[in-house]
Amino acid sequence: MPIKDYYQVLGVEKDAKPDAIKSAYRKLAKKHHPDANRGSKDAEKKFGEINEAYEVLGNDENRRKYDDMVEQQKSGRYAPPSGFSNVTYEGGDYDWDSILSQMFGFDHNYGGTSATGSFKGYDFSPFSRGDASDPFFGNDGVYTKKKAPTKREPEELDVTVNRDLTPWDAALGTTVSVSVTMAGQTNTIEAQVPPNTKSGTKLRIKGYGKPGAKGTRGDLYVLITIQNPNPLPENVREFYSKIRS
């Protein structure tokens, strides 16, 4: 699945100026605001996507990171930063929602409001709006984003295994087999390692962790460490010497 196109979400060109981005955001947010579309799940989802897009494109540093990520993904050079713990590689592509969540702090659980009037990560109480005289916007016209509670299984249900890779397998991509034994049963799972994987990357395999309540399961994480073989083969040593010079 491709990376979410935030420019398309806001209906602006990729070279749009900040004022044009803000104007497009305000118009769409007012149109799809939950207060103006009571009971509409589609409007709630659209409103969440609009706010997410503006949080990235409306901030110069976030926009730069996003644009760089899109370009690297198109050229096949993208690899998640070290330390990203929720990275899934399935069917030849990354879990981009997971990557965007960690990079920009999103939860992607659009739809529905709570009893306090908050919408899946955005606070719509009058105190978050600045100037409450405008029923939709206050001050800069952007709602205050709040941290949404995690809905994942407790951390102890997740299992992490270490896997060493040679530099060339990490650079070119490969498939590794991982064996996990739980409750006396051993499962062997194949994990796809994408090209340009960095040491410290965690690959998530959903549903292969410890069993939890009500039939749920945690996830299996494969922690990648890049290691040279010891002793180093002569042809590899010669190659290293060649590219160093």
Q: Which 8-state DSSP code applies to residue 114?
A: -
Tens digit of pLDDT for each residue in 143-165? 445 444 445 544 478 888 888 89
Compute the 3-state secondary structure of the chain and give helix, strand, coil in percent, each to the nearest 5.
35, 20, 45
Here the tokens at position 181 are 């034994």
Tens digit of pLDDT for each residue in 94-124? 777 777 877 877 655 544 433 333 344 444 4
Specify the pLDDT at position 135: 42
* Domains of the chain listed by start with CATH number: 6-79+106-145 (1.10.287.110), 155-234 (2.60.260.20)
Q: What is the pTM of this model?
A: 0.49
What string of DSSP letters covers 52-67? HHHHHHTSHHHHHHHH
Distances (CA, A) of 196 to 102, 114, 155, 185: 19, 42, 28, 33
Torsion 53-2-107-46 (CA) sign: positive
Tens digit of pLDDT for each residue in 27-68? 998 898 877 888 888 888 888 889 889 999 999 999 999 998
